[in-house]
Amino acid sequence: MIFPTITAFYAGILGLIYAGLSAWVIGGRVSGNVLFGDGGQDGLQRRIRSHANFMEFVPFTLLLIALYEAGGGAKGWVQGLLIVLVIARILHPIGMFAGTNTPRQFACRGGGIIATVAVMAVTAILLLLRAG
């Protein structure tokens, strides 16, 4: 097993994105004077859900990719999956603030989560094929 250096690099990038999302939520709480929950503020609720959605999907997806890379998986697949994951995780919060049923909402929010789930599923399949 090798150290997953490509995944580690992108994990650092994703960590910075998560820190940015965290600061974005904190800023919304401070400006809205909200200590707990969303205070009934739609904008803050969207920030909180963008942050939570990231936390719900990214760690496990990174783990899958790291296992694939550490097990000797193809570097091209690793790099491609991680690039798609980073782009998807940037697009998702942009789409959270798009108008309802707009092309931007579908492309960014919908595209971001679909791409994230696709990366997770493709990586899971690649792991199963390597283990089989």
Closest C-alpha among 122, 93, 125 to residue 110:
93
What predicted TM-score, i.e. pTM, was given to this entire model? Answer: 0.92
Angle between helices 42-70 and 75-96 (to 10 degrees): 180
Residue 81 — pLDDT band, cuts 50, 70, 90? very high
| pLDDT of 76 higher than 80 | yes
Place of tokens 């097990």: 71
Rounded Cα–Cα distance for residues 115 and 87 (Å): 9
Q: What are the chain's domains?
A: 5-131 (1.20.120.550)
- pLDDT, one tens digit per residue, over 25-48 is 999 999 998 888 889 899 999 999
Percent of the chain past pLDDT 70, that is, above it, reads 98
Closest C-alpha among 8, 5, 15 to residue 89:
15
Place of tokens 């650092």: 12
CB distance 27 to 63 below 8 Å = no
CB distance 96 to 49 below 8 Å = yes
Closest C-alpha among 76, 65, 48, 68 to residue 11:
65
